Amino acid sequence: MIQLFFSATQYAAATVVAAIRAGLFGPREDHRRVLVVSDTAAVPEVGTPLDRMAGFERLRSEFDEVRSWNEFVFPHHPGAWSPTAQDAPMWEKAVRLAWDLGDEPVEIACESIQANPSRAVADIFADSPVHVYADGLMSYGPTRNRIPHGMSTRIDRVLHLDLIPGLEPLLLTEYGVRSVAIPNEPIVAVLNEMGEQGAALLAECVPDLNRPTAVLLGQYLSALGLVSREEEEELHVRMLCAAAKAGHTGVLFKPHPSAPAAYDGTLETAARELSVELTVLREPVLAETVFAQLKPELVIGCFSTALMTAAAFYGIPVARVGTRTLLDRITPYENSNRIPLTIVDAALPDAEDGPSDFMRSPTDPGVAERLTPLVRAVGYCMQPRKHPGLRDEVAAWLSTRSAADAHYFERRRLTGLRLPGGRPPGQALWKRAACTVIARLSRGPNGFSTRRWIA
């Protein structure tokens, strides 16, 4: 059996290796293992391929060979290209020929099956079993896009990190796909091995005097269109101010690997005004390597998965900044980022409120007990047609939920789904009728609105 493991990031590759070492992909002698690396950044040509990053050599021994998906599909972009149905058999022959796979059976392990290149690979190998592995908080949310029947029946399981013990993923459960947690011990061991090489890069960047005691996690929110670039810079400044308020004078800012390389210097200016020694880590080093080597006293972020790994794997106090703003703004409601935002907002304290209640570990049973009904309710509201069996459970919980949970739900969506918290049916109908009348009255004789803001 040939096993093809598709990974786009260091963290994804580490997750795969942890699953392999945990015995979740069978004995080595029975399989030929091929790691297929890809880069789905907007301009992958200017980035560093996964297999050339610091620490990758510690993973290479788990695979018989390493291939590049970007090179194979060039000049197409790996995040945008997929074969047509009629061309898929031809592409399978091309892959087998290019990688010397022969006629042996193939098993696929890939990241999000909802997007390319995973979707494209599953289409190409149309008869192969598929294992989906999820390395982030999105696995706790519902499946974003519909999976064709022929593909969904081939998905064997969802492998996920057990970042919040007791909280079960919703991903692909509507297709009857089981979820399997990857034990924490192997993933921490793999991350530590990778960090041995990344530690040298980190040591070159970190000052000897006033070493950072707080870490700020950047994301690529503006690149995703969730906020403007200026707003993302302001979010970083808010993180820095929160760290300074907590008494930290040495701070390290770690941008996301996929974030734009250039910033306008707002963060550096704020650091000088706050008398904070700021270090910006521009080297491709895992956040977990930073946690293991620096042993910070505090990690602050928006809704990065690394917040939960810092707490779950390293016992570092963590806090959030800006989640409430994004929850109010993120559209559409079924946006997959809503679940990570919800989890971080509900589980972690707000860094701007002060240092008295920073979270140390999500392993407390009370965390999963608090999050389970909330995540299932938000997940149902995001994709109600995919989880009709959750309706009664969600309705019962919404009827007794705390007022503090109201901001996780749009009243209009609750009204449309006829769930507790929405407008009464009569009130909803009257409001809709009133809006229709106002819109019609605002139209001029040519049929176009003369008062657009009313309509």
Delimit the domains of the chain by residue range.
Answer: 2-135, 199-371, 423-455
Residue 206, exposed/middle/buried by CB under 10 A (0-12, 13-18, 19+)? middle
Q: Quickly count: other Cβ atoms within 10 Å of residue 46's Cβ.
A: 9
What is residue 442's predicted lDDT score, i.e. its pLDDT? 56
Backbone φ and ψ of 234, nearest 5°: -65, -35
Q: What is the DSSP letter of 176?
A: T
Asked whether the domain spanning 199-371 has the same topology as the one spanning 2-135, the reply is yes
What is residue 358's predicted lDDT score, i.e. its pLDDT? 73
Polymer length in residues for the chain: 455
Question: 3-state class of 159 per DSSP?
Answer: strand
The 8 Å CB, 24+ separation contacts for 178-185 are: 179/139, 180/24, 182/15, 182/18, 182/19, 182/22, 182/24, 182/133, 183/18, 183/22, 184/312, 184/313
What is residue 10's predicted lDDT score, i.e. its pLDDT? 87
What is residue 189's predicted lDDT score, i.e. its pLDDT? 94
| Angle, alpha carbons 122-138-225 (nearest 5°) | 95
Local confidence pLDDT in tens for the 455 residues of the chain? 999 999 998 889 999 999 999 999 999 999 999 999 998 887 888 778 888 887 888 899 999 999 999 999 999 999 999 999 999 999 999 999 999 999 999 999 999 898 899 999 999 999 999 999 987 899 999 998 899 999 999 999 999 999 999 999 999 999 999 999 999 999 999 999 988 877 888 888 888 888 899 999 999 888 778 888 899 999 999 999 999 999 999 999 998 876 666 666 889 999 999 999 999 998 878 899 999 999 999 999 999 999 999 999 999 999 999 999 999 989 999 999 999 999 999 999 999 987 666 776 676 778 999 999 999 999 999 999 999 999 999 999 999 988 889 999 999 999 999 999 998 875 544 455 555 555 555 555 554 444 433 33
Helix, strand, coil percentages, rounded to 5, for the chain: 45, 15, 40
What is residue 448's predicted lDDT score, i.e. its pLDDT? 45
Structure token digits, residue 200: 């040298």
First-last CA distance in the chain: 61
State the angle between helix axes of 184-205 and 287-294 in degrees (0 to 180), rounded to the nearest 10.
Answer: 80
Which residues 6+ apart lie within 8 Å of 403 measured at CB? Answer: none
What is residue 428's predicted lDDT score, i.e. its pLDDT? 47
**CATH number of 199-371: 3.40.50, 2.20.28, 3.30.70, 3.40.1130?**
3.40.50
Nearest to 231 by CA among 173, 136, 302: 302
What is residue 449's predicted lDDT score, i.e. its pLDDT? 46
Q: Is 0.85 topped by the overall pTM? A: yes
Domain 2-135 belongs to what architecture? 3-Layer(aba) Sandwich (3.40)
Give the Å distances, CA to CA, from 418 to 233, 282, 384, 407.
Answer: 39, 49, 12, 18
